[in-house]
Amino acid sequence: MATQSSNPEVLPLEAAHFDLLRVPLIGGFLRWRHSRTILQVPLFLVAVVMILHGLLGPTLAPKNLASVLTWIHFRGALVLVLLCAGNFFCLACPFMLVRNAARRLFRPRFPWPRALRNKWISVALFVVILFTYELFSLWSSPWWTASLAIAYFVAVLFIDGLFKHASFCKFVCPIGQFNFIASTLSPLEVQVRDHGVCDRCRTKDCIRGRRQDRIEQAAPGTKSHATGNANGFVILQRGCELALFQPQKVGNMDCTFCLDCVHACPHDNVGVRSRLPGAELMVNPIRSGIGYFSRRKDIAALALVFTFGALVNAFGMVSPVYAVEAWLTRLLSLSHAAPVLGVIFATFLVVEPAILLGAAAWLTRALGGSTLRLVPLAVRYSYALVPLGFGMWLAHYGFHFLTGILTIVPVTQSALANLGVHLFGAPHWTWTGMPARFVQPMELGFLLLGFAGSLFISYQLAEEDCAPQPMRAFLPWAAVCLLIGLASVWLMFQPMEMRAMLMGG
Amino acid sequence: MVRNRRWSVGFSVLVALAGLYAIGCSKSPGALRNIAFTYESDPKSPRAGLNTFTVTLTRASGQPLAGAHVSLEADMSHAGMAPVFAEARELAPGRYQGTIDLNMRGDWVVLFHIKLTSGETFDRQVELRNLQAT
């Protein structure tokens, strides 16, 4: 399978990449067809415990497993795993465990509507979650947190109960979209090991699934975990439900790391391999299941909500937000939080990106001589801002995770104590996590890493667009990156307010 | 038969969820109704830093509840922060005072854990919004 070379300086194709599936034990486990279920079951049990404690446990967020696990541990671990590895949380998604179980009872019948085969619904839901997070103080309400988890289960069952394939993951799930866009910066990618093998492959099981005729399956001694199909065959192992054809797949966008393609490939030609994080944002090939990034305004909008949403989400936790709210309340003579919040969101998620990207695109045309029109230019460069957004999410969620990582211990002790199980004495309420003074340098590191990544991607795009004068095309985008980067650093070093509600007090 | 099984599963899940919400919504704080609880704080508008709370406990008849044990616990509204604790001492029959360090700006919930001489226990909760440093 590997291409051998006599030149010692040229690594064989296989050796050039680290492949997680080649790692002893871990690789063997992930290649096992039940590995996903094994990973999903513990997370499902955790979700059930969270829901029960959220609805029946203490109403104080710091003492409830629903709020502690969701807003401290899940979010923090999610972004750190995305940074260090890849989209492994989608792999272990507990919602999909329930969906797969439900699909034994309810077979979906409809294809997802063609008009909705884009990211607009999920982008809108992403914004709605950010908005309701602030409006209803989701982090301070175990009841709301548990209800959100229940709503998620219901939505998954409803949508994937009606529509075929992974419609919920690809077109609806806001957490999934967050993971997809962030995983463009992950160091691991599910990818083909040797394209020559794919060229010779006739069955294309990675996308079609491994199939067997019904007559063949009926033969004595045949053992299968088959899924029935009306077309006269059974699917022994499904292929990619998100329509990513491995030989033409580029990057991590839309990949849930479910490893169905790995299990389906009869040539063991799909790996989980290392790559340059963010490399997929610098190029614009046609991507299987996606098309051209440069033509996908919906994915560009997702990238912008991801980036600017990171700032809005952090802004909600610092002191100046009170001043802005009070000023807006006076200015607009409003008394309710929702319209004030709406103005803040519209400013940060629509007006600010439109002004910044519009101005930078105009300058790129004027200075760099780019022949692209304004909107395509803005779409193209919006992907370059993803590292800045990811840096901010990492800094924010990483802060809560690292400074509060041990709080799970006393909260669990307390929950068990309420059930009459006293583990290791009284709850250790003083256990929290790393001191903030140690975490702050890490936050700064995440922000600088994101800033450097965005600059690098912007320059690569500028070089491709305006080869004779790349610096002229690059400078406007560097200025945008600098503005967002400075805003991020300013936000991170504001005195933090562990707030309960916008317009509170 | 299969159809019946589907409906049974769906119905069972719905009933379980409705039950959970019903139990969750009917939770009682467990406070004793015949006891009056009032508190004062110093400074009058609590701020980030040291705050002194004076609690008065009386029966419905107005009789002070002496000899109780009152402890204070303050939590931020956001998970992931350590709670702070303090003990209150009895200044006069039915009057208890404790000082607690609300060590961060933002929103706090102060819990007064009260144990009466009869052994009965109950909590009172006070929400303090948008605490600022002076």
What gap in Å lies between CA A69 and CA A401, rounded to an integer?
10
Give, in order, the Cα–Cα distances in Å from B119 to each of A385, B32, B114, B116: 61, 12, 10, 5
Chain B touched by A423 (CB under 8 Å): no
CB nearest B105 (choices: A52, A400, A495): A495
Q: What is the pLDDT of residue A7?
A: 43
Q: What is the rounded average pLDDT of the residues B29-34?
A: 61
Within-domain flag for A239 = yes
Kindly state whether residue A46 falls inside one of the protein's structural domains.
no
Query: Which candidate in B81, B85, B125 is best for mutational testing of the A interface (most A CBs within 10 A)?
Result: B81
What pLDDT shows up at residue A6?
40
A499 shares a domain with A391: yes
Residues A268 and A298 in one domain: no
Identify whether residues A451 and A359 lie together within a single domain. yes
**The pLDDT value given to residue A267:** 96
pLDDT score at A58: 92
For residue A218, what pLDDT is reported?
52
Q: Which of A72, A496, A504 comes nearest B79 by C-beta?
A: A72
Higher pLDDT, residue A504 or B103? B103
Based on the domain organization, do A447 and A482 belong to the same domain?
Answer: yes
Q: How far apart (Å, rounded) are the C-alpha atoms in residues A253 and A292?
A: 12
- Does the beta-carbon distance from B20 to A61 stay under 8 Å? no
Judge if A194 and A342 occupy the same domain.
no
Last residue of a domain, one of A231, A248, A274: A274
For chain A, the first-to-last Cα distance in angstroms comes to 66
Q: What is the 3-state secondary structure (H, E, C) of A287-304?
A: ECCCEEHHHCHHHHHHHH
Q: Which of A225-234, B11-20, B107-116 has the highest mean pLDDT?
A: B107-116
Average pLDDT per consecutive 10 residues, chain A (505 residues; last block may be shorter) = 41 68 96 95 97 94 94 96 97 96 89 97 97 90 94 95 95 97 98 96 94 62 53 82 96 97 96 96 95 96 98 84 82 84 94 97 90 93 98 95 94 92 86 90 96 97 89 96 96 68 34
Residues A308 and A454 in one domain: yes
Residue A388 placed within a domain: yes
Structural domains for chain B: 35-131 (2.60.40.1930)
Of the residues A274, A304, A319, which one is the last residue of a structural domain? A274
Q: What is the pLDDT of residue B3?
A: 61
In a domain, A393, yes or no: yes
- How many of the other CB atoms lie within 10 Å of CB of A214? 13
CA A210 – CA A238 distance, rounded (Å): 6
Give the domain-ending residue among A274, A308, A323: A274
Q: Does A408 touch chain B (CB under 8 A)?
A: no
Q: Which amino acid is at A74?
A: F
To test the contact with chain B by mutation, choose from A497, A501, A502, A503 the residue with the greatest count of B C-beta atoms within 10 A, namely A497
What integer pLDDT is reported at residue A212 of this predicted model? 77
The verdict on A240 and A332 lying in the same domain is no
User: Does A72 fall in a domain?
Assistant: no
Does A502 lie in the same domain as A359? yes
Domain contains A98: no
Does residue A398 form part of some domain?
yes
Same domain, A305 and A419: yes
Whether A62 sits inside 8 A of B78 (CB atoms) is yes
Chain B residue whose CA is closest to A316: B106
- The reported pLDDT for the residue numbered B132 is 75
- Write the CA distances from A91 to A95, A171, A268, B108, integer angstroms: 11, 17, 19, 37
- Give A505's contacts in chain B (Cβ within 8 Å): 107, 129-130
* CA A355 – CA A352 distance, rounded (Å): 5
Greater model confidence, A221 or B109: B109
A358 within a domain of the structure (yes/no):
yes
Cβ within 8 Å, pair B107-A139 = no
**B7 or A280, which is more confident?**
A280
Strand ranges for chain B from DSSP E: 35-42, 49-59, 69-76, 84-87, 89-92, 95-102, 106-115, 121-131
Residues A492, A420 within the same domain: yes
A433-441 long-range contacts, CB within 8 A, separation 24+: A433/A401, A433/A402, A433/A403, A433/A404, A433/A405, A433/A406, A433/A407, A433/B80, A434/A402, A434/A403, A434/A405, A435/A403, A436/A399, A436/A403, A439/A398, A439/A399, A439/A402, A439/A403, A440/A399, A440/A492, A440/A493
Both A445 and A492 in one domain: the answer is yes
Is residue B31 pLDDT above 70, yes or no? no
Which domain does A209 fall in, by range? 188-274
CB A414 within 8 A of CB B83: no
Structural domain count of chain A: 2
* A228 and A313 together in one domain: no
Residue A249: partners with Cβ closer than 8 Å, 6 or more residues away:
A190, A191, A192, A255, A287, A288, A289
